[in-house]
Amino acid sequence: MRRRELREGAQGLLMVLPPVAVIAVFIGFPVVAAIAYTLGRAGGPNSVVASLGQRQFIVQHGVTLDAYRDVLGNKTIHRDLWATVWVTVLATLVVVVVSWAIALYLRLADTRLARIVSGLSVVPLFIPVVIASYAMLVFYSSDGFMRSVAYHLGWHSFPTLGFTLWCVFLAEVWVNIPFGVLMMSSGLNGVPNNLIEAARDSGASMPRVVRSILLPMNVIPTVIVATFTAIYVLGSFTVPYLTGPTAPNLLGPSMSNFFSAFNQPQQAEVLAIVVFVLALGIGAVYVWANVRTGKRSAVAP
Amino acid sequence: MSTERRLDGAQQRAEAPASPAPERTDVGLQIEHVSKDLGGRTIVDDMQLEVKAGELTCLLGPSGCGKTTTLRMIGGFLIPDRGRVLIGGNDVTKMSPDKRPTAMVFQNYALWPHMTVFKNVAFGLRLRKLPRQEVSDRVAQVLELVGLTHHVHSYPARISGGEQQRVALARALVLEPKVLLLDEPLSNLDAKLRVRVREDIREIQQRIGITTVFVTHDQDEALSISDRIAVMSGGNVEQYADARSLYREPETTFVASFVGAMNSYEATVVPGGLELPGKLVVPCDDLSATGDGTFEAGVRPEDVHVSLNGDGAPADVVREVPRGHYKEIVLNAGPNEVRAFVSADLPPAEHVRISFTRALLYRDGVLQRSSAPVSV
Q: What is the pLDDT of residues B155-205, one digit of tens each?
A: 999 998 889 989 999 999 999 999 999 999 888 888 888 888 889 889 989
Judge whether B290 and B370 are in contact, CB under 8 Å: yes
pLDDT band at B376 (very low <50, low <70, confident <90, very high): very low
Same domain, A178 and A244: yes
Q: How far is A278 from chain B (nearest CA, A)?
A: 30
Which residue of A201, A219, A293 is the best one to mutate when testing the B interface, meaning the one whose CB has the most B CBs within 10 A?
A201
Say how many CB pairs under 8 Å bridge A and B. 75
Alpha-carbon span B76 to B97, nearest angstrom: 5
End-to-end, the C-alpha distance of chain A in Å comes to 29
B327-333, Cβ contacts within 8 angstroms, sequence gap of 24 or more: B328/B301, B331/B306, B333/B276, B333/B278, B333/B280, B333/B282
Residues 6+ apart with CB under 8 A from B278: B333, B334, B335, B336
Alpha-carbon span B288 to B280, nearest angstrom: 20
Say if residue B2's pLDDT is above 50.
Answer: no
Question: Which residues in chain A (177-196) have CB-CB distances under 8 A to chain B?
Answer: 192, 194-195
Residues 6+ apart with CB under 8 A from A268: A255, A256, A258, A259
CB contacts of A203 in chain B (<8 Å) are 13, 98, 124, 127-128, 175
Q: How many domains does chain A have?
A: 2
Task: Tell me whether residues A205 and B155 touch, CB distance under 8 A.
Answer: no
Alpha-carbon span B178 to B75, nearest angstrom: 11
CB contacts of B171 in chain A (<8 Å) are 198, 202
Instruction: Give me the amino acid identity at B140.
Output: A
Q: Does A153 touch chain B (CB under 8 A)?
A: no
CB contacts of A198 in chain B (<8 Å) are 104, 106, 110-112, 171
Of A69, A89, A115, the residue at which a domain comes to its end is A69
Picking from B172, B314, B223, the residue whose alpha carbon sits closest to that of residue A201 is B172
Of A69, A95, A125, the residue at which a domain comes to its end is A69
Helix intervals (H) in B14-160: 67-75, 117-127, 132-145
Percent of chain B with pLDDT over 70: 92
Q: Which residue of B has its CA nearest to A204?
A: B98
Same domain, A84 and A15: no
Instruction: Give me the amino acid identity at B172.
Output: A
Residue A119: Cβ within 10 Å count: 9
Picking from A281, A261, A259, the residue whose alpha carbon sits closest to that of residue A271 is A259
Task: Tell me whether residues A197 and B155 touch, CB distance under 8 A.
Answer: no
Question: Which residues in chain A (281-300) have CB-CB distances under 8 A to chain B?
Answer: 296-300
Say if residue B225's pLDDT is above 70.
Answer: yes
Could you tell me if the ipTM is greater than 0.85? no
Same domain, A160 and A187: yes
Strand partners, B263: B299
Same domain, A21 and A100: no
Same domain, A147 and A280: yes
Residue B128: Cβ within 10 Å count: 14
DSSP string, B158-225: GS-HHHHHHHHHHHHHTT--SEEEEESTTTTS-HHHHHHHHHHHHHHHHHHT-EEEEEES-HHHHHHH
Domain span holding position A5: 1-69
Picking from A207, A211, A185, A209, the residue whose alpha carbon sits closest to that of residue A196 is A209
Nearest-by-Cβ selection for B157 from A198, A200, A299: A299
Residue B144 zone, left/alpha/beta (φ > 0; ψ -120 to 50; rest):
alpha
pLDDT attached to residue B348: 85
Same domain, A165 and A277: yes
Q: Does B102 touch chain A (CB under 8 A)?
A: yes
Same domain, A104 and A217: yes
Q: Which residue of B has its CA nearest to A213?
A: B112
Residues 6+ apart with CB under 8 A from A212: A199, A204, B123
Same domain, A174 and A264: yes
Over residues B317-328, the mean pLDDT reads 92
CB contacts of A201 in chain B (<8 Å) are 75-77, 97-98, 102-104, 172
pLDDT attached to residue A14: 94
Judge whether B52 and B211 are in contact, CB under 8 Å: yes
Over residues B289-299, the mean pLDDT reads 89
Nearest-by-Cβ selection for A200 from B98, B111, B175: B98
Alpha-carbon span B277 to B320, nearest angstrom: 23
Q: Which residue of A has its CA nearest to B98?
A: A203
B317-344 in b/e burial notation, b at 16+ Cβ within 10 A? beebeeeeebbebbbebbebebbbbbee
Where in chain B do CATH 3.40.50.300 domains reside? 3-101+177-255
Residue A141 zone, left/alpha/beta (φ > 0; ψ -120 to 50; rest):
beta
Q: Supply the CATH classification number for the domain B261-364.
A: 2.40.50.140
Residue B45 zone, left/alpha/beta (φ > 0; ψ -120 to 50; rest):
beta
Q: Does B96 touch chain A (CB under 8 A)?
A: yes
Task: Tell me whether residues B107 and A194 touch, CB distance under 8 A.
Answer: yes
Helix intervals (H) in B214-341: 219-225, 243-248, 253-258
Q: How far is B264 from chain A (nearest CA, A)?
A: 41
Judge whether B46 and B83 are in contact, CB under 8 Å: yes
Task: Tell me whether residues A201 and B96 touch, CB distance under 8 A.
Answer: no
Same domain, A64 and A169: no
pLDDT attached to residue A121: 86
Say if residue B133's pLDDT is above 60.
Answer: yes
CATH superfamily ID and name for B3-101+177-255? P-loop containing nucleotide triphosphate hydrolases (3.40.50.300)
Domain holding A239: CATH number?
1.10.3720.10
Q: How far is A191 from chain B (nearest CA, A)?
A: 10
User: What digits encode the pLDDT tens for the residues B43-68?
Assistant: 999 999 999 999 999 999 999 899 99
CB contacts of A296 in chain B (<8 Å) are 113-114, 155, 157
Same domain, A39 and A106: no
Of A22, A52, A69, the residue at which a domain comes to its end is A69
Picking from B65, B83, B64, the residue whose alpha carbon sits closest to that of residue B73 is B83
pLDDT attached to residue B16: 37
pLDDT attached to residue A247: 86
Same domain, A170 and A208: yes
Q: Show the low-confidence residues of chain A (pLDDT under 50).
A: 300-301
Say if residue B10's pLDDT is above 50.
Answer: no
A83-108 in b/e burial notation, b at 16+ Cβ within 10 A? bbeebbebbbebbbebbbebbbbbbe
Say if residue B15's pLDDT is above 50.
Answer: no
Angle at B273 between CA B269 and CA B279, to 5 degrees: 70
Task: Tell me whether residues B158 and A299 touch, CB distance under 8 A.
Answer: yes
Alpha-carbon span B15 to B90, nearest angstrom: 9
Helix (H, G, I), strand (E, B) or coil at B227: coil
Same domain, A51 and A188: no
User: What digits encode the pLDDT tens for the residues A21-55?
Assistant: 999 999 999 999 999 999 999 999 999 999 999 99
Over residues B340-345, the mean pLDDT reads 92
pLDDT attached to residue A1: 63
